[in-house]
Structure 1
Amino acid sequence: MNDTLYQLATVAIPMIVAIVFHEVAHGRMARLLGDRTAQDRGRLSFNPLRHVDPVGTVFLPGMLALAHAPVFGWAKPVPVDVRGLPHPRRAMMIVGAAGPAMNFALAAVAAVGIGILARIEPGAGLVAQFVFDNLVNFLVINLSLACFNLLPLPPFDGSHIVEGLLPERAANAYARLRPLGLPIILVLLVVLPWLMPAIDPVRALLVQPVSWLGEHYLALASLVAGRPLDA
């Protein structure tokens, strides 16, 4: 297989799975709390075609991975309407937290899978290597996606968690920043690093927690493998 296509496949497949499960987790948690919006629009399905954005879910992450840049992406957001629920702000906090929680759980599944495959002899073949590479990327992508979405900036999940934790007056003031969320993200992700390459606040906030979590998930993989695994 062409090396570029191989790399794209080992990024695109885990990225699609991670994002689809992330979005479905939001919708299913909303349904559990009483909001049927996602269910009525057929968005609780794990069918990737209902969630994948060709640019944000496949093309952009693949290009970033090939360029050895931080990988991130997005999907078609699952529609949620908690305004009719008791304590809607708290409900939205729980719905928002469900996506990253799902990614942390999927990272644990990836770690177990890595540990199991590590027990297979090196000569197991191309298929086993392909699965192993997908699992490694699946682990990193899920941890990155979870931490990225926990940033306390609109429209990320972290902003809903912050709103749910703040007192009402402070939460209302914070919510007024929501229309500014996209410009703020563009400045932090694109403009600031381009103007001042030495300053990359988002990457600085993400690299350390993702690395720290990766070490602990790798420890789980080593435990399953029965031997230490290299980072």
Structure 2
Amino acid sequence: MIYVLEDDASIQKLVVYTLNSQGMEARGFDRPSQFWSALALEKPELVLLDIMLPEEDGLQVLKKLRADPATRRTPVLMLTAKSTEYDKVLGLDQGADDYIAKPFGMMELMARIRTALRHAGGREEPENVYRLGQLYVDPGRHIVRDGERDVALTLKEFQLLCLLLEHRGTVFTRDQLLNTIWGYEFDGASRTVDVHIRTLRQKLGESGGCIETVRGVGYKIAEG
């Protein structure tokens, strides 16, 4: 279980949705009082914690978590709009395991969560190797092959491909892809997704045909 203490409803819902879609159970809270009530019933594997909160700020919440033997070793990642070096040092000195400044991409967030869980000795989502026809993708080693040919992708192209492969059969809208890959505050147009999909198909060669356009909706990779 991962707890997300974030008072911005749009961010909280997006993060919880992304975690759930990745097979990680998550619950969101917009007030520390709700968080403390849930904590009394179930201890989470990891906490995503905003700093600017009603009732009490995130650093105070972090201080209490570190003072309690039951949560002293629970990984805590700070999610906050404060991005100065002083704020980061302050959060890390208080016992945070990592510090992620807004806006952030969901793929980066998932990678940070997996790293924190691994360091804490918790379970980590295994890195899958994807095979589809002559397409071979190894996320852990960042390898993509079309048959015997190595394919060089940009980071965003690689993240797009892995997301579609991981959720094979699921149709993603352009907005969902923008939120997940580029971050919820990315101000680019949905055309950005179309351009990346087009170049991704071109680079994948024959394997590029596995990325299907669902007219009027978005893109997917078929289950078959």
**Normalised-by-shorter TM-score class:** under 0.3
TM superposition score normalised by structure 1? 0.25
TM superposition score normalised by structure 2? 0.26
Greater relative contact order structure (CA < 8 Å, 6+ sep): 1
If each structure's strand is expressed as a fraction of its own residues, which one has the higher value?
2
